[in-house]
Amino acid sequence: MFRVVQKRRGSFDSAEMSSLVQLMVLPGTTCLYDEPVQVKVAGLRSRQVVTIRAGSTDERGVVFSSSATYRADRNGEIDLERDPALTGRFVGVEPMGLLWSMKADTLHKRFQMNNSLKSHVVKFSVHEEEEGRMLAEATNERLLIRGGVTRVPIRDGNLRGVLFTPPGEGPFPAILDLYILGGGLSERRASLLASHGFVVLSVVAHGYDDMPKYLKEVHLEYFEEAIRFLRKQDKVGNKGVGVLSLSKTGDLALSIASYLSDVKATVWINGCCANTVLPLYYKNNQILPPLMFDASKMIPTESGAVMGKYALHNPLAEENKSTLVPIEQAKGSFLFAAAEDDLNWDSKAYMDAMVERLNRHGKQNFESVCYPGAGHYLEPPYGPYCPSSFHAVVGKYVLWGGEPRSHAAAEVHLWKKVQEFFRTHLSCDAKLKKANL
């Protein structure tokens, strides 16, 4: 059980003065970032209305917070898995609502928790509705990496990144994580997947360590080197690797699966069906030109952020078809996931185009899922929902789209779906692994 700081409820009468309000976050003092918890309150007056708050500070020092009001039952107890929020950032029964509804006091802030050695510390507290006096508090430490998982920074040849390996002999399925193309390294997704039994290499292509700050072009050889590096790890299974992407790296993942060998499973999340922004090279030849966007089609909003859903040129227009990734060449399987309210670009339309292309070529090596009400940044679940933030390519604050409740539900579903997909297509056989050594 979580450490509970108990406080007297305040002086109502002698009986009430001797009672204690307890705030409990179950099942323990720590958990993984992507695991749900149960928040309960006991010791309140019968039918008492209180406010429950949650707060956390990200690794850049930005404070995020949320709150909702609840009414205790006749026994003076509240259980967020059972009881509806009456008012606040959300209403209704939302057991994890206090986490996904947290937001910063200033606009356009995205919750940054990228270093796996740091944890997401959430402070919960219960307050009297009228006076606001705190009655109890508890802390939930949400870890990005499970005990026993090894984290090794990688500087091998041209490769730069971090390798995460689960405890145990293995073999384990291997994943190349392309969370971001550059401008820093995010470890959150990779460390959590390793905590669930995957060997994960998270790589970055620029703006990190001794790498150039900006990219003018992308070379597939870098990712080919990453795949070779992953496959030679002692604990990696025999069935090739998986590739996990998001946004711009979605089209890069498609190209890796289509042009390189040993890729057995590719997850594309809210990407494009064409190579975007940067020309793609392989073996000193440009294999795909970039599909560009029209800045004049960015729609300004009152919040100061722009909406760029339709700013990217149409990849299906005749003059742009050379930018389309030939995904029918891929030997592995695909999982396409698109948010229907993605305001960064039209992910759903791009997914539909890929499904149509594969069907036209008689391919059945894919599955697709779409999420109504979800926005662009579909990440591991239970983090604060991000409606807008700075876009490095656009150079402005942009809207990502989505409705908080629907987006949070999509993250829970997709996170499980991604793990199931990789386990299905990257299943390991220890005997075969030994035979291949």
From the list 195, 247, 333, 388, the catalytic residue is 247
Cα separation values, 253 from 37, 247, 298, 418, 433, Å: 33, 10, 26, 15, 25
Among 65, 67, 73, CA closest to 90: 67
Among 60, 80, 61, 59, CA closest to 71: 80
Judge whether 247 counts as a catalytic residue: yes
Residue 98 buriedness (CB in 10 A; 0-12 / 13-18 / 19+):
buried
Q: What's the chain's length in residues?
A: 437
From the list 313, 376, 391, 425, the catalytic residue is 376
From the list 83, 341, 342, 346, the catalytic residue is 342
What is the rounded distance in angstroms from the CA atom of residue 316 to the CA atom of residue 323?
9
Angle between helices 220-231 and 248-259 in degrees, nearest 10 = 70
* Contact residues for 381 (Cβ-Cβ < 8 A; gap 6+): 34, 96, 100, 408, 411, 412, 415
What is the rounded distance in angstroms from the CA atom of residue 191 to the CA atom of residue 165?
9
Residue 149 buriedness (CB in 10 A; 0-12 / 13-18 / 19+):
buried
Distance, C-alpha 21 to centroid of its chain: 35
User: Which tokens is 128 given?
Assistant: 């009297």
Among 355, 360, 338, CA closest to 417: 338
What is the rounded distance in angstroms from the CA atom of residue 336 to the CA atom of residue 327?
12
Judge whether 342 counts as a catalytic residue: yes
What is the rounded distance in angstroms from the CA atom of residue 11 to the CA atom of residue 98?
29
Cα separation values, 308 from 297, 300, 388, Å: 7, 9, 12
The residues annotated with a catalytic role in the active site are: 247, 342, 376
